[in-house]
Structure 1
Amino acid sequence: MYIGEQLINPTEARLRLSAQLGAQGIVVDTRPNVQLLDASGRWDPAKVAEQRKFVERFGLRLEVMAVDIGSILLDSLYNRERAAATAEGIRQDIRAAAAGGVTTLKYNVQMVGITRTGVAQGRGGVSCSAFNAAEYDPACDAQFSYWGVGHPDSNREDSDEPVNAIGTPEACGQVLGSSIPGVTEEQGWQALEYFVEQVMPTAEKEGVRLAGHPHDPAYPPGGLNGVNHVVGSLAGIRRFLDIAPANASHGLNFCQGTVAEMSDDPNGIVQEAIREFGGRKRIFMVHFRNIKGGYLDFREAFPDEGDVDMAASIRSYRSVGYDGILCPDHVPLSDLDPGRERFFAFALGYTRGLLQAA
């Protein structure tokens, strides 16, 4: 295992910093990927290779790129023609990634954003993104949730990250749950089965792994706004993987924070999930993050202050033979670190220390 960073539109200076901090791998989370597009609007293999070589110039590896699946999941329920066109585009992007030398792509199964209801104060007065199902309302959802590649602190004038707003290209097709007819449990599985059936055979043929990020957060029974998060439990993750159990390209962007949010015992469920899904060799990359709280009521946290035993997590990954990248994610927010570079550096150093101690 080794540390790496997940970056949006990485610059030369930012990659130099990653290398100086000891990162070995880079996950490029840019969406939409306009820097990769050809005249038809799909990924150009030569541009994929160019981005890979750009990262390699700094002694880093381009481990993973994000593929923008847009609104294909919702469209598979409500606009099948558009879903079919998107599926063909994703298949083209998978082929281009393979031709450009990138063998892992990540995507998010969110239809309605990463739901949050507010902020909570953390260590030293930092602001932490929070979710409390009992306090949910659509106005808080629109204000505090993560939309696509945005994050709740990126709407400041001094931010160099994408604006966090519904309706922007960077929102990646995610919409406010109250604006759509709803997604029943049955429809949720229909949408995921459609996606897997449409793209996984191409990924397997091209030797590209697709790392799916589970639903964040777990929703209460019946969902919110009539939208169900079906991949919001271990049983849901298990069923998701079992849509194509023999396809080695079908796996997880294993987000520790998201898994921890699925239970009142966040540490217990994370260790269980690592053993099960890591044992199945379906963990393709890790968001190594932590939370305070648990199911339906939590806040994000620095990796060393949350309720998940991060040292135990390292031991669990090693026990199942996981040897891939560990990326910090969702660090707290502060006006003292507007670009979050110091907080991400802290998370990287903490993770590196755990690896050395283990």
Structure 2
Amino acid sequence: MYVGVQGIGTSKMELEFLRRHGVTHMDSDPDPGNLDEIVRERETATAAGVDLEMIHIPFAESIPLALDPQRDRDIDTMCGWIENAGKAGLRGLNYNFSTVGYQRTETRYGRGGSGYSSFEFSKYDNDEPHKGGSVDRDEIFARISYFLERVIPVAEEHKVQMACHLPDPPAPVLRGEERWNFPVFEGLKRFSELADSPYHGFNFCCGVAAEGLEKPGEELPEIVEYFSSRKKIFNVHFRNIRGGLNDFVEVWPDEGDVDMFTLAKIFHRTGYPYMLMPDHAPSHPDDRHPEGVSVRVSQGWAFQFGYIIAMIRAVSDE
């Protein structure tokens, strides 16, 4: 396994930032419908010493909302993206499947004035209607199955891993949607078993999984062990939190409730062979990115790269 990154482009400044901090693999976001652009960005990254191995694709709302007939047209488009990924030599595609997206409440503050992304259910307006309406867990899984039945055969044909990110945060119900990744282990297991394919798995966010647990420090290692040992994890967001279900903050990786060294040892022991990458980073006023590049060209990300590199070295030397 090795350190990686997402959400950073292939400009000269961005690639130099990655190489300067020891990052040699990346997930970027060229237009998945433009094969020439994907190839061009891969070649640019390769010339700088970085392997652009995955891309994060947009996900049409018609698919999780089951808006027919547009859903079928959008799935057909995605099958074309998978074909492009295979032709460009990409390892995989990262995607998100939920009707209600990323949810947070007000920022909280911690170490050195760092701003922490947080979620407090008691401060969250869970009665606010969502355009997707109420949808139960069985219906969500039926919609996921409909999607997978179409795309996984194409992924197998072109040898492209389809890595699904976990809905953030897990919860019994958010704005009418029963989250498919709650309870965490049961939801992830059910998802993983929807398609019997080595190309169906997770963009596994340690932070999101922890957010849905009562005692993440105790519960998360077994979950990671289960899915990593079964080769269902294609990418790892190596993020930590403090707190748990319904009340958590995203913190620096060395100060949360999860022992990240324990997780790194599990990934190493189970033979996980891909990227460990930061997911988000705490913010602070002194940490400003240069103009014209990703906000992730910053101190917060540089710190996390070094932390992950050290973790990988430590578990490799044990």
TM-score normalized by structure 1? 0.82
SS at match of 1:253: strand
Runs (5+) with no aligned partner, structure 2: 290-295
Paired residue type of 1:53? E
8 Å CA contact 1:112–1:177 kept in 2: the answer is: no
Q: CA deviation at 1:180?
A: 3.1
Specify which of 99, 108, 112 is matched with residue 120 of structure 1. 108
C-alpha distance 253-15 of structure 1, shift in aligned 2 (>3 A): same
C-alpha distance 239-138 of structure 1, shift in aligned 2 (>3 A): closer
Specify which of 255, 259, 276 is matched with residue 326 of structure 1. 276
8 Å CA contact 1:47–1:100 kept in 2: the answer is: no
CA distance in 1, matches of 2:62, 2:188: 19
Per the alignment, residue 258 of structure 2 pairs with 308
2:164 counterpart of 1:212:
yes
8 Å CA contact 2:99–2:132 kept in 1: the answer is: no
Per the alignment, residue 143 of structure 2 pairs with 191
CA distance in 2, matches of 1:74, 1:252: 17
CA distance in 2, matches of 1:51, 1:177: 40
C-alpha distance 177-106 of structure 1, shift in aligned 2 (>3 A): farther
Q: CA deviation at 1:110?
A: 2.9
Following TM superposition, the consecutive aligned residue runs of length 4 or more in structure 1 with deviations greater than 6 angstroms are none
Paired residue type of 1:22? G
SS at match of 1:179: coil
Paired residue type of 2:110? G
Paired residue type of 2:311? L
Q: CA deviation at 1:138?
A: 6.2
Per the alignment, residue 234 of structure 1 pairs with 185
- CA shift digits 1:261-281 (9 cap, x unpaired): 121111223211221001110
Specify which of 95, 118, 121 is matched with residue 107 of structure 1. 95
- Greater relative contact order (Cα < 8 A, sep 6+): 2
Matches within 5 A, 1:279-358: 279-339=229-289, 340=296, 341-358=298-315
8 Å CA contact 2:19–2:50 kept in 1: the answer is: yes
8 Å CA contact 2:156–2:199 kept in 1: the answer is: yes
8 Å CA contact 1:184–1:228 kept in 2: the answer is: yes
Matches within 5 A, 1:135-174: 135-137=123-125
Per the alignment, residue 200 of structure 1 pairs with 152
8 Å CA contact 1:259–1:270 kept in 2: the answer is: yes
- CA shift digits 1:235-293 (9 cap, x unpaired): 1000001100x211101101000111121111223211221001110110100110010
Paired residue type of 1:63? E
Identity of aligned residues (%): 32
Per the alignment, residue 39 of structure 2 pairs with 49
Q: CA deviation at 1:46?
A: 2.5
CA distance in 2, matches of 1:18, 1:304: 21
